[in-house]
Amino acid sequence: MARRARLFLVLGAALFILLPPRLLSESAAPGRPSLLGMLFQRLLLWGLRIRVYRTGDLDPNALIVANHISWTDILALGSLRPMAFIAKSEVSNWPLLGLLARLNGTVFVRRGERSSVVQQVAAVSAALVRGPVILFPEGTTGNGAEVLPFRPTLFAAAGEGRVQPVSILYRPRGRAWRVGELARFSWDGDKEFWPHLLEVSGGAAIDCHVMVHSPVVADVRDRKALATLCRRIVSEPLDLT
């Protein structure tokens, strides 16, 4: 109970103190994340008892590609520095996550619509001019036990620039995962957000390791090979194949 009270104290403070100035000002444009969003995400991580440890340096103008386990990935990466995200358009209407997405200057895309691919790539390319953009190329959250195949379409947004693979790994603080615990922590499509938020807030304290790898020079002529290479790099330190 005390753990959840801590989280809701953070949520209340953030909503009533931090957010109104942002909401009264000009909204974050796609590709223009706010410092306020970064602060909000750090507060939420504190409330959830998730500590983030980063190794490696983020490229300030790279397309960042990472494995995707839970909505907490957004908090972990967004807490490191203001960075824009790429998300499906439905996320903009989700509770809390939609707000975070807007604060992060998220570029919303309509997945599955081939007619809009050119516009999506152009929007992400424009955002990259302003700073790093994060793509979860699996297209969905996984169960933490494997990295799903990377979808290559939006890799084209990097043009002749750089793509930087990032590995995200979660561990309970001071111990290993217990049987079934990682599956409960991960957020698959069958779980509702608010019950899962309560489950995470009432669970073990978590260490999140963000491993930033060396950038890869993009080759848009072979996006599939680029996506496969990045997936291999992301998977290696996770002991996943």
What pLDDT sits at residue 26?
44
Q: Taking the model in full, what pTM does it have?
A: 0.86
What pLDDT sits at residue 4?
57
Q: Does residue 132 carry a pLDDT above 80?
A: yes
59-111 pLDDT tens trace: 988 999 999 999 999 999 999 998 889 888 888 778 777 877 777 788 888 77
CATH number reported for the structural domain that contains residue 69 in this entry: 3.40.1130
Domain boundaries, position 219: 2-238
Q: Does residue 120 carry a pLDDT above 50?
A: yes
Give the chain as a DSSP string. -HHHHHHHHHHHHIIIIIHHHHHHSPPPPTT---HHHHHHHHHHHHHHTEEEEEES---TT-EEEE----THHHHHHHTTS--EEEEEGGGGGSTTHHHHHHHTT-EEE-TT-GGGHHHHHHHHHHHHHHS-EEE-TTSS---SS-PPPPP-GGGGGGTTSEEEEEEEEEEETTSPPPTTHHHHHS--TTS-HHHHHHHHHTS--EEEEEEEPPPEE--GGGHHHHHHHHHHHHHGGGT--
**Total domain count, the chain:** 1
What pLDDT sits at residue 119?
86
What pLDDT sits at residue 241?
40
Q: Does residue 115 carry a pLDDT above 70?
A: no
What pLDDT sits at residue 11?
60
95-108 pLDDT tens trace: 777 877 777 788 88
